[in-house]
Amino acid sequence: MAPPLPWLFLALGCAGPGSGPGIESQLESEVIALNQRMQLLQEELASCVSGAGSKTLYANLYQVLPTSGLQVDQRGGAVVITVGASSVFVDDYASDFRDDADMALDMLATALLLNPDYDVTVVGHTWNQPIDPAQRSRYRNHLLLSFWLAEALSDHLIDNYGVERSRFTVAGRGRWDPVDEGGEPSAHEANHRIEIKLVPMVSTSDPG
């Protein structure tokens, strides 16, 4: 049986000034790194055994989801759905969902519910500009904000649409994986996003 929703960070970066790692922090970092590696290995294994299934899923979703503003790509054995944060949240800090986001969220949830044999990795991404000082008490850095974007979307899909919680892994990459490195508003819009990666589940049953 899959474990409960594993809340982990897939992030690169250094601790802020005065954070003082200590032994506990070092151990926590090592555990996070190990969890990341295990997740990557599972995805690589799934990619090796399920290419045809992912191609079919990609073809099906590509015909439907872009009409609701969702971007669909195929990366190896995974299908990736990209959601612009500004298209579902009322502001950059995910304080609430937009009233006009229902169609995109309905389509996304339907895609997940119709494909229950796929694990779901939700990864939040932010931009390269400083966080609003008024928000720093809540989001100390971009890593925390990106994780919150992914967590908020995941919780919404679980609580409001009934997508199985055990399928989810939630992560944040902060500002370290931009799709546009420019400083103009269009770059902010492109980078501030949530990616939902669908990877076929790896069977753990004993063939013997």
- Find the CATH number of the domain harbouring 171: 3.30.1330.60
Confidence (pLDDT) at 24: 61
Query: Is residue 128 in some structural domain?
Result: yes
97 in a structural domain: yes
| Residues constituting the chain | 208
Residue 3 falls inside a structural domain: no
Task: Determine, yes or no, domain membership for 205.
Answer: no
- Say whether pLDDT at 25 is over 80: no
**Residue 38: what pLDDT?**
58
Per-residue pLDDT, 30: 63
Secondary structure (DSSP) of 136-151: TTT-SSHHHHHHHHHH
Residue 71 structural domain: 27-140+149-200
Structure-block tokens of residue 18: 């005065």
Q: Which helix (H) or strand (E) holds 200?
A: strand 193-200
> What is the number of domains present in the chain?
1
- 187 CA to centre of own chain: 19
In a domain, 7, yes or no: no
Q: What is the predicted pLDDT for the residue at 55?
A: 80
Coil, strand or helix at 80: strand
Considering the chain, what is the average pLDDT of its residues?
Answer: 80
What is the edge-to-edge ordering of all strands in the sheet holding 71-75?
71-75, 78-84, 193-200, 118-125, 168-172
Average pLDDT over residues 19-42: 59
Closest CA to 175 of 142, 135, 144: 142
Query: What predicted TM-score, i.e. pTM, was given to this entire model?
Result: 0.72
Q: How confident is the model at residue 205 (pLDDT cuts 50, 70, 90)?
A: low
Q: How many CB atoms lie within 10 A of CB 147?
A: 25
Supply angle C-alpha 61, 41, 112, rounded to 5: 25
Q: DSSP class of residue 7?
A: B
121-169: per-residue pLDDT in tens? 999 999 888 899 998 888 889 999 999 999 999 999 999 999 999 999 9
| Within-domain flag for 4 | no
